Structure 1
Amino acid sequence: MSKSSPFATFLIIGPVCFFLGILFSLFPYDYNVLWTTPPGDRDPYFQILENHLKFLHKSPPIISRILHIVIGTGLLGFVTKLYKPSEANMLFDGASLVLYMVGITVYVANIVKGLRVVSAGTYGQMELVEGESDAGTVPGLANDPKSGEVIGREDSLRVMAASNTILALVLVGVLVLQAGQWYAQRKEEAEIAEMDRVAAEKKGQKGAKKSQ
């Protein structure tokens, strides 16, 4: 196993921990929506989450730019570590990169689009085909073109909260793989050091026998 660059590893772990911090700050909103919402008093929790998401979506452009720079920093770390990789690097860093790309996909496909939908209030609304009438649509709801079911405000907000949870699990997976790579490298170095020590002892014993 070739020794990986500590700086490249830092370029990966830093952004992952940054994103986990953001998701942790969203967890109080998501938790009440996904798991502990009282049956008779659900709307305040959904309203709080909705207001928070609208506030995030309307944040200054510099916020999204910083976020995208941090995403690019993580990708730079993977490119650096996977440049002329060994088999072990491909195993750990390759799997980590796959998870990282899954996280980016969840972010783009679910979270970014979800923020736009929540900000506009068009929950699940699909674009109408040219000439199609929208008389049958219900305000705040939309028909799923595949199943014909109606996707409402609460379900859309639950999808947003679930996407954050999925993204957090994916990022934790990246950290676990990077930690596994570090442990494997330390283990290999310890085994090599032990082999060198045994070889040196045997060489010393042979030299002592020859001197006798």
Structure 2
Amino acid sequence: MVSFLDALVTGGTLMTITSCCFFLGILYSDWPYTHALLWASEIGNKEEVAKLALDHYVHWLDVPKFIPFTMYGVVLFGFIGFCMKIFKPLEEIKYFEYGSCLVYVLAVCCYVSNVRFGIYSAQAGQWGDVDEFTGLSVVAASEVIITFLLLGLVIIQSGLFFAKYEDDRVKTEFYLQELRTQLAQAEKKVKETTTSSAKVSGATKGETSATVNKKK
């Protein structure tokens, strides 16, 4: 029977993978602008690229409130999953679990400090000591960093999930084989006992018949 702790860890793994994949989907939707900003010299006019990216990022601040709130809910969903996994991790994989949680925190911090702040700067048109194109490029580069962090998390968590699945499968086969062996031994023992009982019963009947014949 699967223990409550195993079920908790498995559920946490699925929650973390789901959360990371959700954010990878959002970052993928920004990829045309990210690619254009970081490799604009190979694409065309920087001013045109910057204008398209600026309109795209500023539009995120004008969407209905439930859309960013949904995203924040998914962030919390991922944090809950990691908390479930690091509550009582297995000794052999605890550093993977702690490291994964730390990477997730770094990805969220990178989004808040660079991407979200950069979008507000884009809306206000104030970039400090850098020009607009450089500021937008920093936002795009931050999204690339977050993408690699989340991809690493998905790979690690998927590997841990598969390792747990494979370990459970091997253990199940081993225990089933042990059970079959024990059943076979029990059946053999019952047969031997039955045969011995039959021989003893036959010998007893033969002795009884011989005794009766002698009395006659």
Mark yes or no: TM-score above 0.5. Answer: yes
- Is the counterpart of residue 3 in structure 1 residue 11 in structure 2? no
* Higher normalized helix content (fraction of residues): 2
Question: Counterpart of 2:168?
Answer: 189
How many Å apart are 1:88 and its aligned residue? 4.0
State the TM-score, normalizing by the size of structure 2: 0.74
Question: Counterpart of 2:109?
Answer: 105
With over 3 angstroms needed to count, the CA separation of the structure-2 counterparts of 1:54 and 1:195, relative to structure 1, is same
- Is the counterpart of residue 158 in structure 1 residue 137 in structure 2? yes
How many Å apart are 1:122 and its aligned residue? 0.9
Asked whether the 8 Å contact 1:4–1:81 carries over to 2, the reply is no
How many Å apart are 1:20 and its aligned residue? 0.9
C-alpha separation in 1, matches of 2:93 and 2:135: 39
Secondary structure of the structure 2 residue equivalent to 1:122: coil
- Paired residue type of 1:71: V
- Out of 29, 32, 46, which is 2:33 matched to? 29
Asked whether the 8 Å contact 2:27–2:147 carries over to 1, the reply is yes
C-alpha separation in 2, matches of 1:200 and 1:185: 22
Structure 2 stretches lacking a partner, 5+ long: 196-216
Secondary structure of the structure 2 residue equivalent to 1:94: helix
C-alpha separation in 1, matches of 2:153 and 2:44: 39
How many Å apart are 1:21 and its aligned residue? 0.9
Aligned alpha-carbon RMSD (Å): 2.6
Deviation larger for 21-30 or 32-41: 32-41
Structure 1 stretches lacking a partner, 5+ long: 126-141, 143-150
Asked whether the 8 Å contact 1:34–1:158 carries over to 2, the reply is yes
- Out of 152, 157, 177, which is 1:178 matched to? 157
Question: Counterpart of 2:205?
Answer: none
How many Å apart are 1:90 and its aligned residue? 2.0
C-alpha separation in 1, matches of 2:122 and 2:37: 15
C-alpha separation in 2, matches of 1:77 and 1:193: 26
Question: Counterpart of 2:90?
Answer: 86
C-alpha separation in 1, matches of 2:116 and 2:103: 18
Measured against aligned partners, the alpha-carbon deviations of 1:109-142 in whole angstroms (never above 9, x if no partner) come to 111111111111111x1xxxxxxxxxxxxxxxx2
With over 3 angstroms needed to count, the CA separation of the structure-2 counterparts of 1:199 and 1:39, relative to structure 1, is closer
Asked whether the 8 Å contact 1:33–1:158 carries over to 2, the reply is yes
C-alpha separation in 2, matches of 1:39 and 1:84: 50
- Paired residue type of 1:190: R
Residue identity over aligned pairs, in percent, reads: 26
Secondary structure of the structure 2 residue equivalent to 1:3: helix
Asked whether the 8 Å contact 1:37–1:45 carries over to 2, the reply is no
- Is the counterpart of residue 49 in structure 1 residue 53 in structure 2? yes
How many Å apart are 1:67 and its aligned residue? 1.6
C-alpha separation in 2, matches of 1:183 and 1:77: 17
State the TM-score, normalizing by the size of structure 1: 0.76
